[in-house]
Structures are given as C-alpha cells and as structure tokens.
Structure 1
Amino acid sequence: MEGKVIKLKVCGIRSIEEIEELKSLDIDYFGCIFAKSPRQVSVELAREITEIAHKAGKKTVGVFVNESVENILEIVAKTGIDCVQLHGSETPEYCLELSKKFDKMNSDRKINIWKVFLVNDEFPNIEDYLGYIEYPLFDAKGENRGGNGITFDWNILKDLKGQKFILAGGLSKENIANALEYSPTILDVNSRVEVEDRKNKGLVEEIINLIGGDIFE
C-alpha cells in the first residue's frame, strides 16, 4: 500500500455527541442519512453535524434514497453538506440533472455525487454513470439499502481496471487488511463500528490504526 492514499468515511452519524467524539480522528468524511433508517437525521441536526465537521477540517456526505432533485438541492443548501450519496435506483439521467443543478448553485464549493451500486456476486454496470459522478460506491446487497453489516465477494472488484471507487458493507477490524488489497479510494464504515446503536471511538480508532495514519492526506 506504499504511496497510496486511503480516505475514511464514517457513515450514519446521528448525534452531536458522536461527531464531537470523532471529529479529531483521521476521518475524512462523516455521513448523515436522510433516507428512512434507524440512523436517519433531521435537516437541522445534519446542519449542526456539518458545522462541527467543517470546523474540524472534515467533510460531510448526505445519503439519499430515490429523493427528488428539488429536495436534495434544498437540503444541500440548508445543511452545507459536501457530497450527495445516492443509494436508490437513480438513473444516469437523474445524476446528470443533479450534476447540472449543482453546477448552477451559487456556491463557492463543488458538490460531488457518489452513486451506490448494491452488489451480490456480479459486477454492476457503472459505465453510464461515470461521466456524472465522482465515485461509484460498492455496497453489499442485503435486507436494507445499507448498514447491513455484511460483505460481498470483493474479487469482482478486480474488473475495475484502475477505476477509483468507494468500498462499503461490513467493513471492520477483522477484514480491513483484506479490503485494502483491492485499492479502494475511500473506505466507508458504519454498523460494524457501533456499540449499542452509537459509533464507538475505540472501534473507529482500530480501523484507522489498521489502515495506517501515514497514508492519510
């Protein structure tokens, strides 16, 4: 992994206490879930989380499932989130429309789009999306849209041929070393770093130590 830079996202932040506890760690992105989920947050709470993250030099990601373009634009404007993660059945045309709307926003920051592809044992068709998104995100197909705590067969990622991507789904201290072998751009952790329905600083620190602090930007 020498010379590679792996970024870390902790998704499903649902309280001020969590972001305050984690903000000083080597985490690049914090995820706020707006879709229906046990980790769903309000626009007001997401704005507070984002303010704290930004003061600590970190970014926030809003997670949406089949949300209207208009609602996403409104939430981005109200919260100040930096990235939009689309976790539903959004089409390439939808991503194009959203990208154009972001470009027209009166903002001094670029809002990036991440598109989630739920994977079982076959590599998904991502080609039609690549012109409109920053990264594809590969997560395990499970009972829920995300946060299932399960992995998929990472061997299918060998077909990516240099494409930058985000890896999610069941990432924990037990399998991080294996995940790094596939050279993800960003690792996205969630349910496996929780204890009693909240993010656990110790578990997140173990992930960071396994990745190696010297490869963070």
Structure 2
Amino acid sequence: MGSVSKRPDVKICGLQSVEVLKSIVHFPISQIGFVFAPSRRRITPEQASEMISFLHERAQQGHRVPKTVGVFVNPTRDELADVLSVAKLDIIQFHGEEAPETCRSIKEQFGVELWKVSSIKNEEPPVNESSFSDIKDGVNGWIQRLDPYRDAVDAVLIDTFDPVYGGGSGRTFSWDCIPAARKWALSAGMPLIVAGGLNPDNVGDLIEQYEIDGVDVSSGVETDGVKDIAKIAAFVERVTG
C-alpha cells in the first residue's frame, strides 16, 4: 500500500479551449481530459491538438505539465487512429464496453496508457471488503466485471452510471464501495481513480475518508456549463492542500 501521506492526483476533464488551459496550467494538476465521445463537452482532434501543442511548448521551457487523456466510448479502431494521428494523447480512457483483449491491443498498437472506467449503478448493492475474496464466485457485481482487466489496463476509474453516456453524469455513487475497489486495484497493481459528482465542497470529505490515487472532475468545476477557474482552483486546493 502506498504512503498515506501522498495526496491524490487531480484530473480536470472536459477542457475545450487553450484559454482555460492557460489559466489553470500552473495548478498542481496531473491530468487534463478531452472528450471525444458524445457529450456537450465533445471537441475535435484539432482543438485537442492545439491544447497539446501549448503543453509541449511549456514542457520545452522546463515547466511541469499534466498528461493528456482522451475520453472515448466504444470507439472503432479507425476512429482512435484518426484522433491520435492529430492529437498525440498520453492516455486513452475507455468509458464503454471495451473488452480486455481490445484494451491490450490498443495499448500495443498506439503506445499509450489505457484507463478503464467502471460505471456504478446506485441501485447495485454496496460491496464490502469482507466479501472481496468471493470475486471469482460472482458475488461482487461490478468488481467482478473489472477482474478480466487486471492485466489489460494501467488504471481503473470508478464513476456513476449514466443511462445515456455510461458515465459523466455529475452525480455521486455510494462511496462505501470504494474500499473494495481500492483492495481490488491494489491486488491488480494499478491506481484507483474516483469520479462522479465531485466538487470543491465534497472532495475533501472523499479523500479524508478513503485512500484513493486520483480524483476526476468535470461538471463540478463548471458554472453554467463552462469551466470556472475559481472552482478549479478551490477543487485543486482541497485535494492537494
């Protein structure tokens, strides 16, 4: 288990402009996310490329810059190739029903890190650590669905299920399932990232109560659907201290 003193990484998802990126790039943010799946935050590969170019320029000047994450839902291989030929992403985040063998193949073909999202339905019963050993027997629902990915991806992200887009709903799920997810991630040797309805007001409670490796936020740092620099600053401060 990692050091309890380490603060979780921060991912700000759904960026749409260089102007916003320039206003937040000096914050201790570990990843920024671009949405290529159906969403009001969806951007083109060219828009992402502009932001990536800005980050590369800063990196060449000696600045620390966040990694870039592209969010996809059940993309075809051609769609991925089209995006990655224009926007040189560091990480692909799969938010759909992508199979483990697909994840392995994509990692190898494109030379990127790959995160897999597990979306949790709030009507699913909470999972506790005591039943973790029963994963192989099919007891643990969504955690059992994760198990085939333990050698196929680099990180797992848990989010609230959305019936339209799968995730990205801006709603929280039952946090009492986090300890079991954390135990699974440790057993798989990969980070656990938590999303779903996080904002500056509740993220402090999350990281105080649970040991996780990263947090992911989008709508929780927006005002009227637009990224709010003050909310991003407050969110990052609550996480990183």
TM-score, normalization: structure 2? 0.80
Q: What do residues 158-192 of structure 1 show as CA deviations (whole Å, max 9, x unaligned)?
A: 11315321100100122112221222211000001
In structure 2, the residue matched to 1:77 is: 85
Structure-to-structure mapping, 1:39-58, within 5 angstroms: 39-54=41-56, 55=58, 57-58=65-66
Question: What is the total number of aligned residue pairs between the two structures?
Answer: 206
What letter is aligned with 2:96? G
1:200 to 222, 228, 237: 228
Question: Counterpart of 1:35 in 2: which secondary structure?
Answer: coil
Query: CA deviation digits over 1:116-140, x for unaligned, max 9?
Result: 1110235512110111111111000
Give me the whole-angstrom Cα distance separating, in 2, the residues matched to 1:53 and 1:118.
30
Conserved in 1, the CA contact under 8 Å of 2:114 and 2:153?
A: yes
* Range moving further from structure 2, 47-56 or 25-34: 47-56
Alignment of 1:158 with 2:159, yes or no, is: no
**Cα distance 1:89–1:2, how it changes in 2: closer, same or farther (>3 A)?**
closer
Q: Distance in 2 between matches of 1:158 and 1:13?
A: 30
The alignment partner of 1:21 has SS state of helix
Structure 1's unaligned 5+ residue stretches are 104-110
Give the structure 1 partner of residue 135 of structure 2.
none
2:116 match: 115
Q: Please give the root-mean-square deviation of Cα atoms over the aligned residues, in Å.
A: 1.7
Q: Structure 2, unaligned stretches of length 5 or more?
A: 126-140
On the 8 A contact 1:18/1:198 being kept in 2, the answer is no
- Equivalent residue, structure 2, for 1:98: 106
Percent identity for Structure 1 against Structure 2: 29
Whole-angstrom distance in 2 between the partners of 1:205 and 1:2 = 23
1:50–1:59 contact (8 Å) kept in structure 2? no
Q: Does the 8 Å contact 2:170/2:198 carry over to 1? A: yes
Larger radius of gyration: 2
Q: Which amino acid aligns with 2:197?
A: G
TM-score by length of structure 1 reads 0.88
Which position in structure 1 is the counterpart of 2:73? 65
